[in-house]
Every structure is written in C-alpha cells, then in structure tokens.
C-alpha cells in the first residue's frame, strides 16, 4: 500500500470483489465492467476497508436472484438484490441498489445532513 495516501491504496471493485456462488472466474471481467460505477463510491475508502461478494441463486431459473454484499469499515453492511431473469440486468439492478445505499449511509455522516455534527464542526471552528 502507498504510504502517501495516494490513489494506489484506494478501494476499487476489482480489488475488493469476490465471486461467490453461481459465478465463474471466466465471468470476472464482464462483472467488473458492470460494477465499475461503484468505484466512485468506494474511492473514499482505503483498499483494506472494503470487502464485496457477489452471488446468484437459482442461476438460469425463473426465480434467479443476484445478491451483491458490501462491507465498508465503520458502516453497516450494504446489500443489493435483484430477482431478474436476465443475469446482467439483475447485476446492474443490484449494483444500483448498493450505490444508493452507500450514498444514503455516507450522507447521514455528512455534517450538512446531521445537525449534531454540523454544530460540533462549527464549535470546532470557533475555538
């Protein structure tokens, strides 16, 4: 890991993702291409602070379910799921759920969204 805090130690989907049940290593590049938009949300975390797992149940069946789980240091687990007959469409929907949830969780940590934090930031500036 880079000691200077540069981009080299920032979390990425490629570095954090494990392919779980129902996925083959040969599909990894296609999966990473679909999940690439998550990199924008993950870049505020160090690589060692993020873990992700992708799984699919009943693959190829009418009740196929894609699940994308994401563990971010200091935050609750984030899970995106999609029941979708088209595998890649399901993957995209699960990704979008995870992006939305991460955005919401991070937004709650921002001072503008939390009066208590806003006041403590103002109090720190006044001293």
Instruction: Give per-residue pLDDT as tens, 33-42.
Output: 999 999 999 9
Name, in order, each residue with C-beta under 8 angstroms of 57's C-beta and a sequence gap of 6 or more: 21, 22, 64, 65, 67
Residues 73-89, mean pLDDT to the nearest whole number: 93
Helices (H), the chain: 13-16, 28-35, 39-42, 87-109, 115-126
Of 43-47, 102-106, 119-123, least confident by mean pLDDT is 119-123
For the record, the structure tokens of 107 come out as 């937004």
Q: What is the mean pLDDT of residues 65-85?
A: 95
Extents of the domains making up the chain: 7-126
Domain 7-126: give its CATH code: 3.30.160.100
Q: What is the pLDDT of residues 4-26, one digit of tens each?
A: 445 569 999 999 999 999 999 99
Q: Report pTM.
A: 0.79
CA angle, 10 as apex, 6 and 13 as ends, to 5°? 150
């Amino acid at each position: 890991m880079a000691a200077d805090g540069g981009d080299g130690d920032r979390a990425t989907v490629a570095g954090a993702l494990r392919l779980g049940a129902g996925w083959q290593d040969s599909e990894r590049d296609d999966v990473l291409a679909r999940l690439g938009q998550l990199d924008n949300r993950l870049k505020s975390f160090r690589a060692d602070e993020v873990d992700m797992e992708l799984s699919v149940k009943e693959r190829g069946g009418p009740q196929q379910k894609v699940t994308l789980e994401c563990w971010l240091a200091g935050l609750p687990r984030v899970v995106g799921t999609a029941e979708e007959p088209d595998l890649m469409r399901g993957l995209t929907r699960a990704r979008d759920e995870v992006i939305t949830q991460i955005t919401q969780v991070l937004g709650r940590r921002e001072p503008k969204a939390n009066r208590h934090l806003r006041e403590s930031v103002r109090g720190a500036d006044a001293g």
